[in-house]
Every structure is written in C-alpha cells, then in structure tokens.
Amino acid sequence: MTIETALEALAKQFGDRVQTGHSARVLHGGNESYFDEVLPDAVLAPRSTEEVSRIVRICAEHGCPIIPWGVGTSLEGHALALSGGISLDMGEMTKVIEINAEDMDVRVQPGCTREALNTELRATGLFFPVDPGANATLGGMAATRASGTTAVRYGTMRENVMALEVVLADGRIIRTGSRARKSSAGYDLTKLMIGSEGTLGIITELTLRLHGQPEAAASAICAFPDIESAVGAVQTTMQMGVPMARIEFLDAACIRAVNRADNRALPETPHLFMEFHGSEAAVAEQAESVREITAEFGGSAFDWSTDHAERARLWHARHNAYYSVKALRAGCQAVTTDVCVPISRLAEAVTETTADIEASPLLGPILGHVGDGNFHAALLIEPGNSGELAEAKRLAHQMAERALRLGGTVTGEHGVGVGKMKYMTQEHGDAWQVMATLKQALDPQNILNPGKVVAVN
C-alpha cells in the first residue's frame, strides 16, 4: 500500500503508458515560477473519464497521490508532486466534444486549451472570453479559477463554467450543474470544484458558456502622468458603468519593457490599454465616454482603432508583457505576485507597492487587470540567488499583507498552490478550517493534490 505498489498496479493495467523515466518526470516536475523542481514518481495520461476513474480507484487503494497536469502554466506551484505520486497529464483529453451554438455553450475535455477552443469556434460567431494570457488548458483554468484581461466584462471561470464532470477521490464520476443558465437545485458543486486546484476532484469535462463575437471592437492606449491618475480614471470608468471589454494598467517600467521588446516608442509613464466591444455605435459611445474621463485625469489624447492589425499588435504587446518584462534582465526569473483589492483602495495599493519596489534593489514592473482591482508585480531575480529570492519574497509578502489590510485577497486569479498557503489563515480565519473539513469529507485519504489550498493532517 505505497506509491510503489500503486505504480505496479497501474503498470498492470496501463503498461508502459505509466512513464517513470527521468525526462517525463522532469517535464512534470517544474513550474513557471521560483519553486524548486519536485518530480512525481510517474506520469500517466488518461484517454477518457473512465480511465481517470480507474486510475483514481487504484491510487485510492494504494494511498498514492494524484496531481492533475494541464500544460504547466500555473504560477504558484500547483502541480508539484509534494508528496510524490502520479502526475495525471490531461494532454490526451483535448477534444471539443459538442458545440451548442443555439444555446451558446460548449462541452470540452479538460486538456483542451483556450486557444484551441477559440480556433474551433471561429466559424460559429461565438468565442470563449476568459483570457489569462498563457495558453492554459481549460481544466487548469477552472481548477485555479483563472481570469485575466477580459474578466472585467465577461467574468472569470467562476462565471463561465456552467457544468462539470468530476472524478472524486474514490473514483466515482459525478456531473455537477447543467446546461440551464441558472438553477436553484441544491448546493453549487460546480462552483465548489472551480478553484479547488485538483484537491477535491479531477475535472474530466467542462461545459462552458460562450459569448457572441462583438459586432465591433476597438482598442485604445492612453498615457498618464502618474499612477494615481491612471487608477483614478479606471475607478471612474467602472463607477460610470462603461462596459469595458478590457482595461489594463501597465506602469512606466512595463512600458519601458514593451518599448524595447516590441520596438515601440510609447512615453515611459503609466498607461491604460483598453478595449471596447459592442455595436459600432456602442463602441464609439464607450470610447467617447472614456476619452472624457481620461482627459479629466490628465490622460493623453488617444485614438481608438477598430483596425484588426492594430488591435492585435496592442494585445500582443500586453499578452507578451510578462516576457518583455523578463527581457529587462537577461537570464532572470520572475516572481509574480497577484493581489486584488476593492477598487476604492486600488490607487493606494499600487502606489505603496511601487514605493516598496523603488526602495528595493530589484526590478519589479507592475501591471494588472485594474477594472477588477487585480494587479501583479513581476519581481526579477537571478536564478539561484537566494538573497534576491528572499528580497522578492519580502516584497511579495508586503503586497499580500497590504491587500488583506485593504479588504482584498492575496490572489486575484493565480490561486493558492504552494505559494499562498501561508496567508490562508489570515485571509479566511476559521473559514479555512471549514475548507479543510470539506477536503476531509471528500478526500479522506488526502490523495488528491495533497499539500495545496488546505492543511489537513
């Protein structure tokens, strides 16, 4: 009844699909962040829900941990096999199962990425809006309650997952939710699974809400003299109810990085990158409203463009900002923070964070989905430099504490993983114990992604 006996039992059923070679384990032992490599004992890629269920039953029998794996883009060490076990790679469950254009929903397997889904949807006039930047899998995005640039208009995974199929810790397969747009039929197991990071069940299918491609879309860039004015413009825009499709903040250091990486010549001051969706008239009206607001806050005059190439160029710059920022320091690693505060406290949060980072020897450009009050600093450190890592952690800690003091959360969209465990008591108080109670009820052996989200004995 060990991991070893589990691997033997799995090998009997799945043969050499149970990969124990070093290279497969290394591919599933790393992370996009600063956490040390932790190798799973084996990697196994199920081909169906039924296979997931069989694998889980075997692992349950032997007490072997199971850690779901998408494409490895998570940022808080979610997929590290802290107690060993199987990395369950969803890379062979990538199908778009059924598009219901009339109902604007779609059923997908968890290994399907958001870009693959949107490619498949192109002819339907529909799209899946949630956009965390990385081309993550939809299963992984649900597991971390991902969001990103478009959440301000279209919501996060919380709002865009209608139903799930989930394999529980004992191998049972359940379906949560339905294709009805709303229901009051009992506990919301769908929402309980979203954001549970593989600790309560393994997502084997998702029903997602789709949205109509907007009749028109326009984008705009606006430069501000300082952080307060940029954030003030965001606050007012949100309060006026302008239905922004995207409203992204990039600080001066970010703009410097974008200029270098994309060969642009934007003024190196805080900026908002914006997008408007709607009818042509609605887009024009929204852009005009925002132009008035940004002018009040000292923003630069801006041209809005419905030109597809120009829009693509803008959002490429934004999506690529993480890599552009990393390019500011050759060979560096980024420690990415992720706090979210009530909009009224956003200027305070960003300004204080900037002051902290300016007083530090590290570079740490700030950017964020400010329409939701969510922002990140990418703290650039030399790999293996423990002094710099400690300094980055100190800055990240200050941000987290500040977010809690201002009534916010230590993670707006990246999730808890390993990195944010230490704040859970402070953020949730006794409610964190309640989460552990739920975990124990659904996974009494603690075999599903152990060591993440909750602390159990």
Using CB under 8 A as the binding rule, the residues of this chain from 1 to 60 that contact a second copy are: none
Cβ distance 193 to 199 under 8 Å? no
C-alpha span between 43 and 202 (Å, rounded): 15
- The partner residues of 272 in beta bridges, in order of sequence, read 222, 249
151 near a second copy, judged by CB under 8 A:
yes
415 near a second copy, judged by CB under 8 A:
yes
176 near a second copy, judged by CB under 8 A:
yes
Tell which one of 372, 377, 381, 446 touches a second copy (CB under 8 A). 372
Using CB under 8 A as the binding rule, the residues of this chain from 226 to 255 that contact a second copy are: 235, 238-241
C-alpha span between 197 and 346 (Å, rounded): 27
Cβ distance 306 to 217 under 8 Å? yes
Distances (CA, A) of 70 to 45, 74, 168: 10, 9, 18
413 near a second copy, judged by CB under 8 A:
yes
183 near a second copy, judged by CB under 8 A:
yes
C-alpha span between 21 and 211 (Å, rounded): 43
109 near a second copy, judged by CB under 8 A:
no
423 near a second copy, judged by CB under 8 A:
yes
Q: What is the DSSP letter of 10?
A: H
Minimum CB distance to a second copy, residue 119 (Å): 21
Q: What is the DSSP letter of 423?
A: G
| Phi-psi category of residue 318: left, alpha or beta, with phi > 0 → left and psi -120 to 50 → alpha | alpha
Give the pair of three-digit tokens for residue 75.
């940022």
453 near a second copy, judged by CB under 8 A:
yes
C-alpha span between 333 and 436 (Å, rounded): 33
In the bound state with a second copy, the residue whose beta carbon lies nearer, of 288 and 303, is 288
412 near a second copy, judged by CB under 8 A:
yes
97 near a second copy, judged by CB under 8 A:
no
In the bound state with a second copy, the residue whose beta carbon lies nearer, of 72 and 232, is 232
Minimum CB distance to a second copy, residue 456 (Å): 12
Give the pair of three-digit tokens for residue 163.
């139903």
In the bound state with a second copy, the residue whose beta carbon lies nearer, of 167 and 317, is 167
With CB under 8 A as the contact rule, which of the stretches 48-56, 83-91, 188-196, 354-362 interacts with a second copy? 188-196
Using CB under 8 A as the binding rule, the residues of this chain from 310 to 369 that contact a second copy are: 338, 340-344
Cβ distance 156 to 413 under 8 Å? yes
Q: What is the DSSP letter of 57?
A: H
Distances (CA, A) of 298 to 218, 226, 288: 22, 9, 15
In the bound state with a second copy, the residue whose beta carbon lies nearer, of 205 and 391, is 205
CA angle 56, 57, 62 (to 5 degrees): 95
In the bound state with a second copy, the residue whose beta carbon lies nearer, of 57 and 158, is 158
In the bound state with a second copy, the residue whose beta carbon lies nearer, of 145 and 318, is 145
Helix (H/G/I), strand (E/B), else coil: 184: coil
Lay out the site mask for a second copy across 190-209 (x = CB under 8 A, - = otherwise).
Answer: -xx-xxx---x---------
Q: Where are the beta strands (DSSP E) in 255-373?
A: 271-278, 304-305, 333-336, 339-340, 366-369
Q: Which residue has the tokens 């790393």?
A: 30
Tell which one of 38, 90, 108, 454 touches a second copy (CB under 8 A). 454
Tell which one of 104, 295, 389, 456 touches a second copy (CB under 8 A). 104
In the bound state with a second copy, the residue whose beta carbon lies nearer, of 392 and 403, is 403
Give the pair of three-digit tokens for residue 427.
């953020």
411 near a second copy, judged by CB under 8 A:
yes
Q: Where are the beta strands (DSSP E) in 105-155?
A: 105-108, 126-127
Tell which one of 182, 265, 301, 358 touches a second copy (CB under 8 A). 182
410 near a second copy, judged by CB under 8 A:
yes
Q: Where are the beta strands (DSSP E) in 324-400?
A: 333-336, 339-340, 366-369, 374-381
Contacts with a second copy: how many residues (CB under 8 A)? 87
Minimum CB distance to a second copy, residue 105 (Å): 8
103 near a second copy, judged by CB under 8 A:
yes
Tell which one of 87, 109, 150, 156 touches a second copy (CB under 8 A). 156
186 near a second copy, judged by CB under 8 A:
yes
